[in-house]
Amino acid sequence: MNADEARESLAFSEYARKRARDDMGRPWLALVLLASLSVVSLSLTDAAASPVGLFWMFAGPVGAGAIALYASRRNQSSGIDSSPLGYVAITVGLLILSYTAGKIGFAFQVPAVARFGPALVVAAGYLVLAWVERSWMVAAVSIALVAVTVAILGFDLSSQQSKALLFGLYGITLLAVGFSVRVRRQQLL
Q: How crowded is residue 81: how many other Cβ atoms within 10 Å of its Cβ?
A: 14
How many Cα atoms sit within 13 Å of 185 on the Cβ side?
14
Under the criterion CB under 8 A, does residue 159 sit at the interface with other proteins? no
Interface with other proteins, residue 10, by CB under 8 A: yes
Enumerate long-range contacts of 51-54, CB under 8 Å, 24 or more apart: 53/99, 53/102
Q: Show the CA angle centred on residue 187, arms to residues 185 and 189, nearest 5°.
A: 70
Tell me the closest approach of the beta carbon of residue 26 to other proteins, in angstroms: 10
The binder of other proteins chosen from 66, 80, 89, 140 (CB under 8 A): 80
Q: Assess 83 for contact with other proteins (CB under 8 A).
A: yes
Closest to other proteins by CB, 46 vs 133, is 133
Instruction: Considering the complex, state which of residue 13 and residue 161 has its C-beta at the smaller distance from other proteins.
Output: 13
Q: Return the closest-CA partner of residue 142 out of 173, 164, 168.
A: 173
Of 87, 90, 166, nearest to 124 (Cα)?
A: 90
The residue from 50, 70, 81, 139 that contacts other proteins (CB under 8 A) is 81
| 13 scored as a contact of other proteins (CB under 8 A) | yes
Closer residue to other proteins (CB): 50 or 135? 135
Binding segment (CB under 8 A) for other proteins, from list 17-25, 27-35, 42-50, 96-104:
17-25
95 within 8 A of 125, measured Cβ to Cβ: no
Work out whether 78 is an interface residue with other proteins (CB under 8 A). yes
23 binds other proteins (CB under 8 A): yes
Interface with other proteins includes 16 (CB under 8 A)? Answer: yes
Burial zone of 129 (CB within 10 Å; 0-12 exposed, 13-18 middle, 19+ buried): buried
Distance CA 14, CA 127 (A): 23
Pick between residue 16 and residue 49 the one whose CB is nearest to other proteins: 16
Asked if 189 is part of the footprint of other proteins (rule: CB under 8 A), the reply reads no
Residues that bind other proteins (CB under 8 A): 1-3, 6-10, 12-14, 16-17, 19-21, 23-24, 76, 78-83
